[in-house]
Structure 1
């Protein structure tokens, strides 16, 4: 373990958390959700000091343990590099409000942005889409710009409510989960669901999708923890990481 000092704050750099940030970021990039140096994932600090993120200026695929930053609840860098992403309030405010959430994701997935521009509901036309059946897929409309203040972060919290993910029109997505597997796969499934619906709409009018009650049942059948972890292990293998769980 290394130690870092920022002003009067002395903290121990958590190897597990920086490694988790790096792994989750690399999976998002491998799945096509990278956007040069923009987009980020955060992991809750187990000691309650804030959240761990990658340093700004690096792509998701470039995230590594030495580029992990402990961001305090007030946005200060407490350990690691000095820089902090401007949109840190996405993560600090979501985790402050949702004790059930330990990992948060924000990316600029192209299919999600394209779908959000249509202002249409996400229809359960695929296995991916039923993941969002229980709580719906809300839209964040407080700003189309950067979520760079705690107030805008709290507006995102309000928009998301108890849901797994939120569209951020003209911007991207926010996704949450109790661990890396659930948060990252939620972001991946949302992008796939949007892409499938866009493909169907491009061919003509959508005529067939799963109803609300069956969608909730189907989600429980298709996406229990065992299947989320199976999907996660697949992606960790894709990026060359030996996931042991």
Structure 2
């Protein structure tokens, strides 16, 4: 193993090894602040994870924050890097929370997934605590385009942070896993995609709550998007949302 060298002044100040990818580290901080600005962070338990190939270690690694600090308060000194396969800590003072095994398992199951976002949004938890939906319905005509696939709504009490076995059964068929009473985990090819799916799903839940409150107040029924429209949106999402970026 070659001797580690500090890459630049910024790395030197942060005490980061030369192989640490500052662009990845800074993106976690940036998107953490974007989530905070949307009031989607609650205490220290939400997280972001990003997969990258590290030439120094010659393997795939995962960048994430360690346990005990909020994404809202996170700095480069609060980030950890772990081996994707072995979960060995390669950099950082502390390991991430136990929920990191959920992020790892999603990436292990989906080679196309390079980023995950885990949140505990108030509206999502409140909605599923009352409605107990097993399948998703929409009132908007755009959320399904962003999601790309139906969300996987787990049964009550299923915690994939503690038991990842359920991930293997649904990871290929969804881009967002919902744990009623706990929160959501969205994923994508990059952090931007995972972020947009997290905020789009949360926004849709807020629309559903508002629509149902208005329905109760006015006596008018909620107009949900038809199953056929939703199916078409899932199919067209790649072209409509990301088509200009495809080669």
Computing the radius of gyration from Cα coordinates, the structure with the larger value is 2
Q: Deviations over 1:202-228 (max 9, x none)?
A: 233643122223234456379512799
Structure 2, unpaired ranges of 5+: 1-6
2:43 to 29, 33, 36: 36
- 1:128 Cα deviation (Å)? 4.7
- Secondary structure of 1:43's counterpart equals strand
Residue 72 of structure 1 deviates from its aligned partner by: 2.3
Say what the alpha-carbon RMSD is for the aligned residues: 2.9
Choose the corresponding residue for 1:25, options 19, 27, 32.
32
Which of these residues, 161, 181, 186, is aligned with residue 147 of structure 1?
Answer: 161
The number of aligned residues is 221
Deviations 1:74-111 (A, max 9, x none): 33321122232221111110001100100011110111
C-alpha separation in 1, matches of 2:242 and 2:178: 24
Superimposed CA distance per residue, residues 151-176 of structure 1 (whole angstroms, 9 cap, x where no aligned partner): x2232242343211111111100100
Q: Is the Cα contact below 8 Å between 2:25 and 2:63 reproduced in 1? A: yes
2:112 pairs with one of 87, 100, 103: 100
1:173 equivalent in structure 2: 184
Q: Which residue of 2 aligns with 1:65?
A: 76
Kindly indicate whether the alpha-carbon contact (under 8 Å) linking 1:166 and 1:173 is maintained by their aligned counterparts in 2.
Answer: yes
Under a length normalisation based on structure 2, what TM-score does the superposition of the two structures give?
Answer: 0.77
Aligned residue runs from structure 1 range 68-217, under 5 A: 68-73=79-84, 74-117=86-129, 118-120=131-133, 121-131=135-145, 135-141=149-155, 143-145=157-159, 147-148=161-162, 152-204=163-215, 206-217=221-232
Q: How far does the alpha carbon of each residue in 1:9-48 deviate from its partner, in whole angstroms, 9 at most, with x for none?
A: x982221221122122222222221012111010002233
CA distance in 2, matches of 1:93, 1:169: 20
